[in-house]
Amino acid sequence: MRLVGESMRIFVIHLSKATCVEWGLKERNIEALLQDLDKGKHPVEVFEAIYSRTKEGLHPLVSAHLSPFFIHPSIKTSVRKRLKTYLQACCYALKQMGMPMSLGELGCFASHYLLWQRCLDLQEPICVLEDDILLESHFFDSLENIEKHINSLHWVRLMHLFPEQIHATQTQTPKISTIPHPTWGSGTQGYIIDPTAAKAFIKASKHWVMPVDFVMENTYLHGVKNYVFKPFAISEHVENALKGNISRDRDVSYPLLLRIFRRLHPYYVRLAQKFRK
């Protein structure tokens, strides 16, 4: 629990040098980002990102949450494709559609999942940043602005990708807009989250069948509205973004019944949205 007068904690998700060396991954340089963050009054912690592999196999957290029908065929797992997991996969295909998750996407999900748990443990709002971003000049002011309203908003993004495709509507809260329509993965570069949203996201993430941003930004899955601060408080660091370790290979064939349920997914979303209202 944060003491009175203490500023909100900032967590920067970053793959450690040791992990990158061990698995032949690209490490991002975050020295400039940390220097910029140190200019504020907020405690900053570099949170060691999860990589999906370990020497013993898949990371235990990843193994506990993956679905064998929604991982890339190149990923080896001890989780068997049984009738029970097939029926579960059909349910998830209907509710979330599902995609073949890569090692990088599973690791990204695990990292954010652990920070939601940290938010719950602390029982206070936190700021989560990925390591491929730049701070805008009003970044610290935006944190103060959002923190005043976070108990009613619960989750506010500091930016999103594809701004030309996403239509946000201004709310009554200054500089806070809402995205009312479903979106298909517009990034997790930075956000502020409180324990209410963290708990809802965890509950909606029993099995990881879609990238983490899809789960977070689609209100019909958990009831948490999709808010964004405008003008964006952060921007994408293009050079660091190109050094990412997340691959997205969607060219996978699904069993017939799973294909049918995936095609029914848009109709489920429309129905779920009506009930949410």
- Which CATH code is given to the segment(s) 9-276? 3.90.550
Structure tokens at 131: 């390591």
Structure tokens at 231: 């003008």
Query: Is residue 106's pLDDT more than 60?
Result: yes
Average pLDDT, the chain: 92
Q: What is the predicted pLDDT for the residue at 237?
A: 87
Q: What is the predicted pLDDT for the residue at 148?
A: 96
Q: What is the predicted pLDDT for the residue at 117?
A: 99
Give the least confident one: 40-54, 116-130, 134-148, 262-276: 262-276
The burial class, CB within 10 Å (0-12 / 13-18 / 19+), for 167 is exposed
How far CA 251 is from CA of 103, 234, 248, 254, in Å, comes to: 15, 32, 9, 10
Which ranges of the chain would DSSP assign to H, the alpha helix?
A: 17-23, 31-37, 60-65, 83-96, 103-122, 139-153, 195-203, 212-217, 238-241, 256-276
Query: Is residue 147's pLDDT more than 90?
Result: yes
The Cα–Cα gap between 191 and 91 comes to 29
What letter would DSSP give residue 219?
A: G
Segment 222-243, tens digit of pLDDT? 999 999 999 999 999 877 655 5
Q: What is the predicted pLDDT for the residue at 243?
A: 57
The burial class, CB within 10 Å (0-12 / 13-18 / 19+), for 187 is buried
- Asked, as a colleague might, if the bond just before 231 is cis with ω within 30 of 0, I would say yes
Segment 37-85, tens digit of pLDDT? 999 999 999 999 999 999 889 999 999 999 999 998 888 887 778 888 9
CB 109 within 8 A of CB 211: yes
Model confidence, pTM: 0.94
Torsion of CA 215, 218, 222, 223, to 10 degrees: 160
Q: Tell me the Ramachandran region of residue 187: left when phi exceeds 0, alpha when psi lies from -120 to 50, beta otherwise.
A: left
Torsion of CA 187, 191, 241, 101, to 10 degrees: -40
